[in-house]
Amino acid sequence: MRLFYSSGSPYARMVRVALRETNLLPRVTEVEATLRDPASAILPVNPVGRVPTLLLPDGTALTETVLILDFLDTLGAAHRLLPAEGAARWRAMAALGRAIGMMDGVAVWNRELRRPEHERSPGVIAQEITRTNRVADVLEAEAGRLGDTPDAPGIALLCLLGYAERRHRTWPWRDGRPGLAAWYDAMAARPSFAATLPPLSGL
Ligand SMILES: N[C@@H](CCC(=O)N[C@@H](CS)C(=O)NCC(=O)O)C(=O)O
């Protein structure tokens, strides 16, 4: 299998951390790919052109982080990323969906900031700041319940906050959120996280 990723992508990092936590990395070749580029190595296998893309041996190209994380659980690793069934599975999916929804908001906010100033939408930025802080405040209120297991929801939240630390520092996410910050600092020490550190950006 081949995983197409870019080093700055928090979504691709979720899959890269999961591959390390499940010890599935030896079964996957990680391929760094360019984005928004007509010559990108992703395009011949996936016209969507986004990372993460996981190319299976039969040529199926799985795109979308949640689908890929769910697929990894079918490979028989001892460490599962999501419960196999029942209410626990849907609770974990809900937590994962919430982290991804928050990540989507941060990604839109970040994309606006990368535009020339005269092309930015103050309305979109304000909307995504509100969304992001709203979810972060709920997470802070529930921080005592965040476990220390690197399951799919935990990995997604960790990579989201890791993105805020390295590539979206305009958001002072730690302010007023000591529980979330303590959880992040403890989880960020994991080797899977250190091995996938994104480059710093100017934002
Ligand atoms: N919904 C997708 C989002 C993935 C995504 O937005 N990836 C970005 C990098 S962070 C990308 O590949 N952008 C390139 C593009 O939009 O062409 C997922 O969950 O995997």
Regarding the beta carbon of 5 and ligand 1, being less than 6 Å apart is answered no
Report d(CA 92, CA 197) in Å as an integer: 25
Which ligand 1 atom minimizes the distance to the CA of 68? 20
Ligand 1 pocket, 64 CB below 6 A? yes
Range with the poorest average pLDDT among 87-91, 144-148, 187-191: 144-148
Task: Give the model's pLDDT for residue 146.
Answer: 92
Return the pLDDT at 39.
97
Q: What is the pLDDT at residue 196?
A: 98
Nearest residue to 31 via CA among 23, 194, 19 = 19
Q: Is the Cβ atom of 36 under 6 angstroms away from ligand 1? A: yes
| Ligand 1 and 50: CB distance under 6 A | yes
How far does residue 90's CA lie from ligand 1's centre (Å)? 24
Rounded to an integer, the average pLDDT of 114-119 is 96
The answer to whether the CB of 192 is under 6 A from ligand 1 is no
Least confident piece of the model among 49-58, 69-78, 142-151, 182-191:
142-151
CA distance 86 to 89: 6
In this prediction, residues 158-162 reach a mean pLDDT of 98
AA identity, residue 75 = L
Pocket test for ligand 1, best of 51, 65, 155, 163 (most atoms within 8 A of CB): 51
Domains of the chain: 2-75 (3.40.30.10), 86-190 (1.20.1050.10)
Residue nearest to atom 13 of ligand 1 (CA): 50
> What one-letter code names the amino acid at 138?
V
Q: What letter represents residue 37's amino acid?
A: D
Q: Quick one: pLDDT at residue 202? A: 84
What's the distance, CA 16 to chain centroid?
Answer: 9
* Euclidean distance between CA atoms 72 and 63, whole angstroms: 13
CB of residue 198 inside a 6 A radius of ligand 1: no
The mean pLDDT of the chain is 97
> Is the CB of 65 inside a 6 Å radius of any atom of ligand 1?
yes
Whole-number pLDDT of residue 127? 97
The pairing of strands 29-32 and 53-55 is unpaired
Q: What is the pLDDT of residue 31?
A: 98
Asked whether 46 lines ligand 1 (CB < 6 A), one says: no
User: What value does the mean pLDDT take over residues 184-202?
Assistant: 96
* β 29-32/2-5 pair status: parallel
Q: Where are the beta strands (DSSP E) in the chain?
A: 2-5, 29-32, 53-55, 61-63
Measured in degrees and rounded to the nearest 5, phi and psi for residue 48 equal: -65, -35
Instruction: Kindly state the tokens that stand for 73.
Output: 């659980």
